[in-house]
Each structure stands twice: as C-alpha cells, then as structure tokens.
Structure 1
Amino acid sequence: MSFEDLPAVEDPPTYVREIRGCSKCGRPARVCVCSALPSQLIELTGSVLILQHPHEVRRSLGTVRLLPRCVSRLTIAVGRTIKGTSRKDAANIAGLIDGAVEQECPVLLLYPAKGATSLALFADSPSFGARLAAAHNHPSSTPPGRAYLLIALDGTWTNAREMFNALPPTWLGADGLVKLVQLPEPSANSSTVHLPEASTGLGTAAVSGKGTAAQGGETLSLPCLIRPEPELSHVTTYEAISRAVAILEHWDPSQLQKCLAPLRMMTQLQAAFNPAIHAREQEYLAALQQRELSHQ
C-alpha cells in the first residue's frame, strides 16, 4: 500500500511550552534522556538531510531534535518547501545536493510512495556495496559523508505528503536527482529492521509482549510508538532514519539499538504519563500477527 492510499492519522497538536530543559538533550528535567545518549557521536560514512516542517520545531513529542546528539553528518533544514527555508538552510541543502552530484553519490529520499524501492534491495546491490567498502577502507580518499546522501521529511503524515508534493520537479521522476526508497515491511517472522545477511544470523522471532522480540539470546525491539502511526511499516522520523542508516551502513543489531536508545527511553518515560503508548504496542503486535496469518 502506498502513502497516498492511507487514511489520515494525526496525533493531537501538542506543542512545547516554555519550560527550561536539559542543556544537553533539550528535554524537560523530569524526562531527561541524557543517560541514553551515546558517549560519542556515531560516525556515518554517508550524510543525512532532514527537511522539517515548521510545526515540528515546537512539537513536544518531536523526535528529530535528539538525532544530532546521536549521529554525525546530520543536517536539519526547516520549511514547508525548499524555497521556504532560511538562507542558511537553503545553502546547506544546495551544498549537500551539489556535492553529492559532483561525487556521483547516490541521493536517496526516504518516503513510502508508489514506485519506491526497498532500501534493503538498494543497500545489498553490488554497486553500493563497493562504494561503502571504499568509504570504509580508504576514508582519506573518500569525501566525508559521500557514501550516500539520505533525505527524510519530518512532520505529521499530512505535512509530509504536502512537503513531498512540493519538492523540486528536478528531484523526482525517472531522470530525477533522487532515488525514492522506503523501509522494508515489518514481519512477525523477523526483526522489524532488515539487516544484510552477513550482519546477523537472527531467524524467526518470538514476541514477548513487553516491547521486545527474542531469538537465540538476542533481543529485538519493537518500534517506538510514541505517536500514532497509520501503518505497521510507519515509525517516527527518528526511528525511520535510524533504521535506514542501519541498513545502509550494514550495522549489526547492537549498533542500531545504541542509536535508538534515546528514543526508546523518551518513549518509556512518556508512557508513564500516557497509557495509550502501551495500548499501541499491543495493537501493533496483534495487527502484525493478524497480517502474517492472512498471508499464509
């Protein structure tokens, strides 16, 4: 199912009040997530560009503001359209796009629209594998962040659709600058994130019912359902980027969980005030298992 076929599912428009927060994570003191932040930024061989809708900047449950404290080479540009961003943000966008084109770097737009390629298939392609290997083995000869440029849209699903439709015509289409990709569909018989076969030996997962799935001594986390999502495959912007980067960088499960730890802690803390989060987890598991049964 493509995004265009989905019903609109929005969370209540709750915005950040003027409350002094932690100087490091930016969260209010009682829900500080600093203990879950990595001690050092996780280095990426690629770059990430987030196009953020203005409404997300002040949304209390916005997740993107934590990402720059977790991974390197991440840029956030605020605006409903590219032309609507500030001069500084517009210059950053142009620099990233121009640099990627000059270096013949793949530019990927993460968005679940018709025609989008599975990111797992792209990451497993020989051409991308060779580029990633070159970036890992010869970092001095590869421009920083040039293994790929991943672009994501941050906003409610309605906002994201509007932003997608307003993207420059030169970006999309058969000869466009960007390649449209999407995360693989989750499955009750696997982790919620695809990792290349060489990275993990995990097989069928048994759902524990407490937000995790276990197999062979490993623990696989369910999505962080801090906000309602219209489809099983849809997650917060933070988690979508983390899972996409995990696929592109060929991370093992522990690296992904390290990146997701701040978001997971944020979700757990919020669940203490919002019982609906636990209800979403149970609904997610039930819907996932029901879909698997219907496909048998």
Structure 2
Amino acid sequence: MEPKAEEDALSPEPRHRSICTNCDRPTRVCLCHALPLPPIQTATRILIVQHPHEARHKLSTTPILNKSLLRASSVTSRRLRRGLSPILDRSPPALYLFPSSASSTTPALHISAVRPSADLVLIVFDATWQHAREMVRASEGFLSEFATRVCLGVDESVGGGSIYDSELILRKEPFAGCVSTMEAVARALRVLEPNGPEIEEKLVGVLREMVRLQAGFVKPVKPRPKLLKKKAEEKEKREGSEQGGA
C-alpha cells in the first residue's frame, strides 16, 4: 500500500476541481507543456496491460505514455487472452517485459540480446509487483504462442527506491532495478528503436516534469510516536548489551 501523502496532488477534491481536457490531469499539475508534439513515432508498437487497480491509481504513467507515443495503446485486464486485443490476435512477433524469478518457468532474455524485427509489439504489464507476477503467470499460456519474455534487469535481494531517477519518493518499488511503466518503456525503446536514445530522453523528460510538479504537493510523512519509542528502546538495549560485554 502506497503512503497516503504521496497522492496529495491528485487525491479526490471538490467537484469544481479544474481538469485539463488534453492531458486529463488537474490543471495545477497539467503536463501539456511537456508532452511531445506531435506524439513520438516508433516502429515498435507498445501495448500496456493495466491491472484494474492500477487503472484507478492517480500516479499511473500509462495515460501519459499513451499521449506521448503515437503507437502506444492500453487494455485493462488481469490477464491476456485471445479476443482481448486485436493487436495480439494476429500473433505478431512480440516481447513481453518482465524479469525472471526463482519460480519462473519461462526464463527472460535481457532485452539487449534481442534483434528488433518488423511489426514488433512490446507488451508491458502495469501493476504492483505482486499483481504483475499474477498477470504474467495467467497470461503466459497465451503469450507462449508468439512472444518472448525479456527483462531490463532487477535484483530482488536489494530493496528498491523511487521508481523515478530522483531523490523524491512518490511511489516506492520493492526491488532494485524496478522502475515505473513509463521508464521501463523508455529503456526498452532505447534498445529497440534506431533513434532509441533520443526517444528515451524525451520520455524521461516528461517523467521528470511529472515528478517536479508532484513534488510541490508531497507532504512530509510525520513519524509515528510509537515507532520512535520502540526504536529508542531498542537502541538503549543495544547500548546496554555493548557496555555489559565490554
């Protein structure tokens, strides 16, 4: 569960709140000035599969991706299956982005080892880490017919920080290497597109501006008195043990 303070800028407000009709964000955090115009053209088609819970998340980057990339689209579902997306029903050459784990039955190639092909589709799962695991597991029977599992690299033994390249933590990821959906797509396109570095720079630029705007509405989280008391007691106990063993 994400800290409540992280969503203050986009949390429910009175009905008179002004919403931008172009980027669909509150006008005080409008991103229109940062969106690429026209949207970025890519050879790769991007399909984002959003978990229903993530589709309601105020800080989801999927809507911004759809507006930034000409060939990006999204579906809301807990699993991929035939009939859900016309893009996938024709079984195109495809990659689905998700790292391997100890329990994975399908190993993931590092995306740098993939050779881009014509009409390539990049599939990205937009959800919490646990929900994404469940979505991938439920979808792999269908995806195994035409898609290859790839990854950017993740280390589950190391705690994650901000999903953005920023000291501002808007949403904390569980493992090192985890990134937002938008940053994951940017990194993947860097490898898959001829002008990949330029595309990555533009997308990350939009992401940075989103973080900058959001920063003005993040309230510091007040420490819990009980937690502070417990830490103080543990510190005293450690110091007492050290002195007794001296």
**Structure 1-normalised TM-score?**
0.60
Among 150, 155, 158, the residue aligned to 1:181: 150
| SS at 1:161 equivalent | helix
Deviation at 1:177, TM superposition (A): 2.1
- Tell me if structure 2 keeps the 8 A contact 1:225–1:235: no
Distance 1:250 1:11, change over 3 A: farther
Q: Find 2:25's aligned residue among 18, 24, 27.
A: 27
Partner of 2:242: none
Q: 1:162 to 1:184 in 2, by over 3 A?
A: closer
Please list, as runs of the form range in 1=range in 2, the aligned pairs for 1:46-65 lying within 5 A after superposition.
46-65=44-63
- What is the alpha-carbon distance in structure 2 between the residues aligned to residue 98 and residue 57 of structure 1? 23
Aligned partner of 2:43 among 38, 45, 48: 45
Number of residues of Structure 1 aligned to a counterpart in Structure 2:
201
The aligned residue for residue 97 of structure 1 is 88
Q: For 2:184 and 2:170, how far apart are their aligned partners in 1?
A: 13
4+ runs deviating over 4 angstroms: 13-16
Which structure has the bigger radius of gyration? 2
Counterparts of 1:101-250 in structure 2, within 5 Å, are: 101=91, 105-114=92-101, 115-122=107-114, 125=115, 128=116, 131=117, 146=119, 148-172=120-144, 176-184=145-153, 222=165, 226-250=170-194
Cα distance change, pair 244–274 in 1 and its aligned pair in 2 (3 A)? same
Residue 53 of structure 1 contacts residue 155 of structure 1 at CA under 8 Å; is this kept in 2? yes
RMSD of equivalent CA atoms:
2.8
- Alpha-carbon offset, residue 45 of structure 1: 0.5
- Give identity over the alignment, percent: 32
Unaligned runs of 5+ in 2: 102-106, 156-161, 221-246
Residues 225, 247 of structure 1: alpha-carbon distance in 2 compared, 3 angstrom cutoff: farther
TM-score by length of 2: 0.71
- 2:68 aligned with 1:81, yes or no? no
C-alpha separation in 2, matches of 1:249 and 1:62:
24
1:55 Cα deviation after fit: 1.1
Structure 1 unpaired stretches of 5+:
1-9, 84-89, 136-145, 187-210, 212-220, 277-296
* Cα displacement (A) at 1:107: 0.8
